[in-house]
A and B are shown apart, each in its own frame.
Chain A
Amino acid sequence: MSDRPPPDLKDRIARILREDRGRLIAALIRATGDFHLAEDALSDAFEKALQHWGRSGMPDRPDAWLLQVGRRQAIDRLRKQSRHAAQAGEIRRLMDEDQEAQGALPPEIPDDRLKLIFTCCHPALDPKSRVALTLRTVGGLTTRDIARAFLDSEIAMGQRLSRAKSKIAKAGIPYRVPDPPEWEERLGAVLTVIYLVFNEGWSAGPGEAPIRSTLCDEAIFLARLLLTLAPDDPEIEGLLALMLLTFARHGARLGPDGAVVTLDEQDRGLWNSAMIDEGLALLDRAVARGRPGAFQLQAAIGALHVQAASPAEVDWPQIALLYDRLAAVMPTPVVRLNRAVAHAEAGAPEAALSEIETLLPDLDLYQPFHAARADIAARLGQGDVARASYRAAIEMSRSDTEKRWLAARLARVRPD
């Protein structure tokens, strides 16, 4: 091919892909009612853009150009596959919309991304599929990247996405923002998906860091987008604050050797102060709305950690209080474990240890449980429990640095 696109055009298209893809795919899904068709039509449109814009330059409104071409590609695709009379209505609707768009100045593309997010995170979809579909459709990550991030094969991830998209179509999962009675619960499902994406990135081991840290960026991007689309919701602000306050420690989290550095031992000078400031401001705004929730509470706990000038100055009694409130709305075993640890730090290790013992059946396979149990038992002089728990924690640890760190603590346990 003689008309190879100039390199800067590729960059500009990549930027449009990043910034406008979500809005375009949302508009095409609204127009076609079909995730598969909308995605195929949009990639056709981007392919055509590469050819046309290379020859005749960028149009004034690349987004409107892409939407129009995408709509026509959808019509073409429907015509080719249309053996059923049922699709005639869809084709007509798309053509009408195409006609209306022929006006002098293309109108601003209506932003349907909020509908898109709620549909991708619908509780009738399997949780892992919600995460994958949101990353693919709203975030624009490739199937390959999502597969790598979740340590899945590309084929398996492709099939998962395909099944989810066809369930949306065949089971009649609606393309809409839920009404107030359902809003809160459904928003909770959306926020959980975003936080899962973040944690998947944050919990990455050193070797997996590059691809996975894009998941943190992606989760923060999604929360920002959600906040733009639904401002004034304190739980969205709370989630964004929580992620910013956590991600601010990104630069201090790994030592020069690539090993994980614990919160206590991190160089606080390496924390990202702009991100901390933004997180704290968001949290203030959320709390002022007087509608507390689980993400605001977790963000408030994160805030107390980053606000302390040194590990010795962390306000543990306040953190323990916040964990009490969190456990009241979210009584999961992991929250109860963290609450116990906070109470131990705040000066009540006996009560904390007996609470921790009750969690054994739920958390026996959870490595941090054994590490926490070991630390508190050691502090209380219960050498046998401490040693056994350190050994369990070391055995379950997936990081050599952590194993060494725990072994050093095991060696310091005083004999009974």
Chain B
Amino acid sequence: MQYLALIYSEDGAGPKPGTPEWGAFMQGYASANKTFTEEGVMMGGEALQHTDTATSVRVRGGKVETMDGPFAETKERLGGYYLLDCKDLDQAIRMAALIPTAAHGTVELRPIMHVELPE
């Protein structure tokens, strides 16, 4: 089963770049990536630029409307994701717990829905 692990954290929470904690934090991501690959669950994953850079798009009455900023203004912001192919939710939870941001933010696991599209 595939799960999208959505990595949320509050702005300013967690280690700051340039501190020793930051080094350990990034090391944590490196070793999480390694484990995901070794366990054969890694389907992809990236960090995202800050929500300041987000653009929201919608089409209304055939017209494209663009807006500056994320879809929802919340305290916790989406900062990255992994796509993991796990045996079941228990394995997905074990993997999510290895994501360093889980120590100060929240990782939301969402199962991927398979939709059959018309030819």
Contacts and interface: CB of A to CB of B under 8 A. Distances in A.
Contacts of A84: 116
B89 A171 contact: yes
A240 to B, nearest CB: 27
A411 to B, nearest CB: 52
Nearest to B90: A174
Contacts of B109: 171
A172 interface: yes
Interface string B86-119: 1111101100000000000000010101001000
B24 interface: no
B98 to A, nearest CB: 14
Nearest to A182: B90
A124 interface: yes
Contact of A178 (B1, B86, B90): B90
Given A124-B89, A178-B90, A182-B90, A171 B111 contact: yes
B89 A174 contact: yes
- Which secondary structure dominates where chain A touches chain B? loop
B97 to A, nearest CB: 11
Nearest to A123: B93
A172 B111 CA distance: 8
A119 to B, nearest CB: 10
Interface residues of B, number: 13
B86 A172 contact: yes
B89 A172 contact: yes
Contacts of B88: 172-174
Contacts of B113: 170
A182 B89 CA distance: 13
Contacts of A182: 90
A172 B116 contact: no
A84 B116 CA distance: 9
A124 B3 CA distance: 14
B27 to A, nearest CB: 24
Nearest to B110: A171
A122 B90 CA distance: 9
Contacts of B87: 174
A176 to B, nearest CB: 8
Contacts of A122: 89
A178 B89 CA distance: 12
Interface string A120-148: 00101000000000000000000000000
Interface in B50-96: 86-90, 92-93
A209 to B, nearest CB: 39
B10 to A, nearest CB: 23
A124 B1 contact: no
A173 B113 CA distance: 15
Contacts of B92: 172
B111 to A, nearest CB: 5
Nearest to A186: B90
A200 B3 CA distance: 36
Contacts of B86: 172
Nearest to B111: A171
A124 B108 CA distance: 11
Interface in A207-264: none
Interface in A108-128: 122, 124
A83 to B, nearest CB: 9
Interface string A155-173: 0000000000000001111
A29 B24 CA distance: 44
A172 B93 contact: no
A178 B94 CA distance: 13
A171 B87 CA distance: 11
A172 B113 CA distance: 11
A84 B86 CA distance: 23
Contacts of A178: 90
Contacts of A124: 89, 93
A10 B97 CA distance: 51
Nearest to B93: A124
A170 B92 CA distance: 13
A395 B54 CA distance: 53
Interface of B: 1, 3, 86-90, 92-93, 109, 111, 113, 116
Given A172-B3, A172-B88, A173-B90, 12 more contacts: A84-B116, A124-B93, A170-B111, A170-B113, A171-B111, A172-B86, A172-B111, A174-B87, A174-B89, A174-B90, A178-B90, A182-B90
10 tightest A-B CB contacts, nearest first: A174-B88, A172-B1, A172-B89, A172-B88, A173-B89, A171-B111, A171-B89, A174-B90, A170-B111, A124-B89
